[in-house]
Structure 1
Amino acid sequence: MSTVVRRVAASAALASASGFHHSHLSARLRFSSSVSYRERLRDGFGISDIDEAVDVFDQMARSSPLPSVVDFNRLLSAMAEMRRYDVVISRCKMMEMIGVPHDICTLNILINCFCRSSQVAMGFSILGKIMKLGCEPNMITFNILINGLSLQGRIHETVAVVDWMVENGFQPDLVAYGAIVKGICKLGDSALALDVLTEMEERHDDVHVVFYSSIIDCLCKGGLVDDAVDLFSRMYDRGVHPNVITYNTLINGLCSSGRLNDASRLLNDMIQRKIKPNVVTFTRLLGGFVKEWKLVEAKELYDQMIHMGLVPDTFMYTSLIDGLCIQKRLDEAKEIFESMVALGYPLTTVTFNALIKGYCKDGRMDEGMKLLSEMPRRGVVADIYTYNSLVEGFFRAGDLKAVQMLFQEMQFLGLSPDLITHTILLDGLFKTGRVEEALELYDEMQNSGMDLDIVVHTTMIRGLCVDEKVEEAFQLFKRLLLGKGAEPNVRTYTIMISGLCRKGLLGEARRLFRDMKEAKCFPDGHTYNELIRGHMRHGSTSEVVELIREMRSCGFSADKCTMSLNTDVMREGRFEKGFMDLFS
């Protein structure tokens, strides 16, 4: 910006500020001279009228006789609604100084302002003052304090407050329980939420559906879908009728756990009970069917939705595009995308990202880049997820120049690489043989203060194993077991077992396999197949037979690589002819 422009801008700002000050001062003078505080209290205040509210307080403080505490409370409440808690707190002190005693309403307002400004301890000190003065705190007092603790995530303290209330003859109402349940569910402690719900049911007959819906959501997010279904049934037993939000929450939980048939039955139950599904209901189910390749069911569901007069929204179309891309049905996904454009639906970054990711995973990088260039024309801004998909795709294609270009573009746009970007880069460097750069990047990530997740460490272990640095990979794995990093998952164990097997370290691989099960990280089909192949290459027949039987008893089967290796070893005569029968 040039000097002249800066000077003009500064002059304009000064003139504007001067004009505002003059007009604001004039308004205050007109107000103070012509309008009584009673009229102003009756008229109310806007959300930003704090200066006028302070003027009213000053006028009230100068009045003789002084206004009643009720009038002061009305003014303090208006200030609190403006979220100027600091002003309310200071004016409460002034009230006492001019001789206006606080009543329970004033003190409740004061407690609320302390809680809202993250000073819950001061709120409790006011509670102590209430009792010291011989006043009786009411349910509003306790509800404000409980809500204040819940807002700070201090859930166990809120439960302790409720217990104290009961012991001292106070009956917690549903507002108090509502604040507690909301806070507990936010923390994801479904067991405690259920305990509180049981207590609510014992003390109140009219527990609202909102409480049940919140806890069902908490259970589903924690993977406890069976418990969520049980709670849904318990609602009916108590005569509490679920609403569309309750149904949507449980349908979402069932779909997330792959129980699409149960989710469909719940949709039918919903319709039979005259509770009309909305687009959200159908979107989750439809996306689930598409991802599971159940296209006939998806089409029937779509037709049912249209028949009910519901109009698909952008989110539903995006879910369909995402599901089709997962199935690599990219041409159909593009058709839906183009239909959205033709019908005038607003395209979002998420919509573009779903299709770009699909193209990148399928190696169709030119089409992915065309979509990237189309985004600005559609008024859509690319985000870090857009570039992550493209970077990963170009790494997979071995086009390092394109990767470099994308990173320069990200820098130009002010997009900071996130943990996923770094993980993609780490994986890409290993896969393109730039091992030293990968090791350097991993060190930088560790020293940067990033909270590295297990995906990063697993990528590192895999890269080291592929580069035949199995000992270094195993050392890193052991550090993870010692708690120096994220906890290994089944993929981490499987990759490490595979690396040890390829190195011929079968004893270490078997020990790690046992440790894995002891750590309650149960092996999957990939783990068994890697270990079986390792023993087929280097081990004895008896160990292979034992592993195959164990694998089959767990419901897993040999994959193509294992069957191919089995054919090779049979041809070489290392195993008996009947050995093949173990796999069938």
Structure 2
Amino acid sequence: MTFITVSSKLLSLQLQSTTYFYSRFKLLSSLSVVYFHSQNIINLSPNYNPHSTHLTHTELQQLLLKKSKSGFDNLDNALDMFDKMLKLRPLPNVIDFNQLLTALVKMKQYLIAVSLFREMCMLSIPVDIFTFSIAINCCCHSNRVDYAFTLLATVFKRGFMPNVVTYTTLIRGLLSQHKSTEAKLVFVKIVKFREVECDVVTFNIMVNGLCKTGHADMALWLFKYMEKTVYKPDIVTYTSIIDSLCKRDRVNDALCLNCKMIKKGIFPNVHTFTILVNACSRSGKMEDAKRFIEMMNEKGEYADIVTYNTLMQAYCVQGQMDGALAVLKTISSEEITPNYYTYNILLDACCKQLKMDMAMDIYRNMACEGLKPSVETHSILLRGLCGLGKPMEALAFFYKIRDQGHMLDIVIYQTMLSGLCKNQFIDKALSLFHLMRCHGLIPDRDTYNIIIRGCLWNKKYDEACKLVDKMVDCGFLADSITTSLLQLLSLETHDPTLLAMQQKCLHSGM
């Protein structure tokens, strides 16, 4: 009995493995999938230029490798690329097409990726098991595990052998539809019929994949299943499960598992220790967290900056600045270089405790260490100054860092606008809002809502009305806070301008 026959009966999917994949896949039309054929891809891509510079195969491969990691800027660009690939002679190889499909997955364009996969099959473009695995993954993400198993039938029919990634994807797909019993049966059959060459690495891939996709219970079952086989859990398996338990706030269970692991002669590595330090710190078990760092150092698994940042963050959350500063001294004494995140943790804690003088000293110390402040660093300080009721000092600092050439993004502007509005410096806020465009920053929905609320709070109703008009023209909607404020002020004042704004918001569907 083959695996696919067994799986068919177990999962009651009624697979018709003798029916060719394409006829079954027409059912995807129920998901409103548009099949892109080569002749109409161009029509769907208004930016397509048939006279654009011809890509060489080398340039194509370099571009696809980059896009497979980050995705394309928009869907049109991806479709344009697919069309150009079809026109190349000789055709790009299967790896290039796989990278294009991977880029679409990065963009979460799962149904489009399936459509292009079908297009490749119809045009007899070579596909391999990795291509099928990508398509199966997309079906699972689209909550159509039945089609994923239909694809699996086609994999067998074409003579391919599914790999561990293929099966892990199918198991995760079943779990996403709350079919844990079926998922366990599939895994048992994989092992029993040796559909993939199982070893500890195979199990670890599955355990890690299940943990990272939120299927901790299944991962824990698989972990216990491993203990009954010759494929005993190793440090990678334990670390994945410990991390999963910690993320579910089951810190005590994670600590017990760590003790069990050590008793079996498997000692934690830096990654395991960092997870435990983080979990203990977040749950207030500071002594345990420090003990783990001491254990690391004793065993030669020295704590790194990530571990110390985690401990420092915990002290700051609990308002223990002395403990956080002590961690900073430890970092320096062990000749570990602090990063900008280290300083951002301290700066944020200082600002929340209204210790701006200490915050500015730490900020200046960053420069002495030769560490360039990040955008987040400046946002923290500006937010702290505004929160302390010193918006003009914040504005002066804003212009200072701008003149020094530091990067100013839209979040920094939003921080300043919010601080100025809440401290009743609405004219300064309006000036800064208009200055954004001069610096090449286009206000987004959040920015408009911040400045509109500022105008409403400060009774600048005419100005607020103009901004609402601009926001609507830009295609943005008022958020719930703005609409609630408009409603409240309209009821209190019966001001016709406010009523007009409220009507505009309602008429625009805000």
For this structure pair, what is the TM-score category when the shorter chain's length is used for normalisation?
0.5 to 0.7
- Compared with structure 1, are the counterparts of its residues 398 and 21 closer, same or farther at alpha carbon in structure 2 (3 Å cutoff)? closer
Give the alignment partner of residue 263 of structure 1, picking from 316, 320, 324. Answer: 324
Cα distance between partner residues in 1 of 2:125 and 2:363 = 65
| Shift in alpha-carbon separation, 1:53–1:432, aligned structure 2, 3 A | closer
Partners of 1:363 and 1:181 in 2: CA distance: 50
Letter aligned with residue 404 of structure 1: C
Write the letter of the residue equivalent to 1:108. V
Q: 1:1-150 alignment to 2 at 5 Å?
A: 24=86, 27=89, 47-48=99-100, 75-77=128-130, 80=133, 93-94=153-154, 96-97=156-157, 102=161, 106-115=162-171, 124-133=184-193, 137-150=198-211
TM-score (normalised: structure 1): 0.57
Q: Which amino acid aligns with 2:100?
A: S
Looking at structure 1, the residues matched to 487 and 319 of structure 2 have their Cα atoms a distance apart, in angstroms, of 32
**Which consecutive residues of structure 2, in runs of 5 or more, have no partner in the other structure?**
1-41, 52-78, 102-115, 140-146
**Alignment correspondent of 1:232:** 290
The match for 2:3 is none
Contact 2:347 2:362 in 1 (8 A): yes
- Shift, 1:249, TM fit: 2.3
1:276 is paired with a residue of what secondary structure?
coil
1:261–1:47: structure 2 CA closer, same or farther, 3 Å change rule? same
Give the Cα separation in 1 of the matches to 2:357 and 2:264. Answer: 49
Aligned to 1:511: none
Structure 2 match to 1:175: 236
Structure 2 matches for 1:297-336, cutoff 5 A? 297-336=358-397
Per-residue CA distance 1:214-250 (angstroms, 9 max, x = gap) = 3444555x5x3x3145323223225343211122222
Instruction: Specify the alignment match of 1:213 in structure 2.
Output: 274
Change (3 A) 1:356 1:174: same
Deviation at 1:97, TM superposition (A): 3.8
CA distance in 1: counterparts of 2:370 and 2:387, whole angstroms: 29
Q: How many percent of aligned residue pairs carry the same amino acid?
A: 21
- Displacement of 1:409 after TM fit? 3.1
Matching residue of 1:412: 473
The answer on whether the counterparts of 1:209 and 1:242 sit within 8 Å (CA) in structure 2 is yes
Higher CA-based Rg = 1
> Who is 1:491 aligned against?
none
Deviation at 1:182, TM superposition (A): 4.3
Does the CA-based 8 Å contact 2:117-2:135 persist in structure 1?
no
One-letter identity of the residue aligned with 1:395? L
Tell which has more relative contact order, 1 or 2 (C-alpha 8 A, sep 6+).
2
1:165 pairs, out of 213, 216, 226, with 226
How many correspondences in the alignment?
Answer: 404
- Give, in whole Å, the separation in 1 of the partners of 2:492 and 2:263: 61
> Are the counterparts in 1 of residues 129 and 155 from structure 2 also a CA contact under 8 Å?
no
Q: CA deviation at 1:338?
A: 0.8
Bigger proportion of residues as helix: 1
Alpha-carbon spacing, 1:402–1:115, altered in 2? closer, same or farther (3 Å): farther
Distance change (3 Å), C-alpha of 1:47 and 1:402: same
Alpha-carbon shift at residue 413 of structure 1 (Å)? 2.5
One-letter code aligned to 2:379: T
Equivalent position to 2:408, from 330, 341, 347: 347
Aligned residue for 1:242? Answer: 303
Match of 2:353 among 280, 284, 292: 292
- Given that residues 146 and 176 in structure 1 are in contact (C-alpha distance below 8 angstroms), is that contact kept between their aligned partners in structure 2? yes
TM-score by length of 2: 0.64
Aligned to 1:562: none
Q: Distance in 2 between matches of 1:124 and 1:317?
A: 50
What is the RMSD computed on CA atoms of the aligned residues?
4.6
Structure 1: gaps of 5 or more residues: 1-6, 32-39, 61-71, 451-584
Written as runs of structure 1 = structure 2, the 5 A alignment for 1:487-506 is: none
Equivalent residue runs for 1:443-462 within 5 Å: none
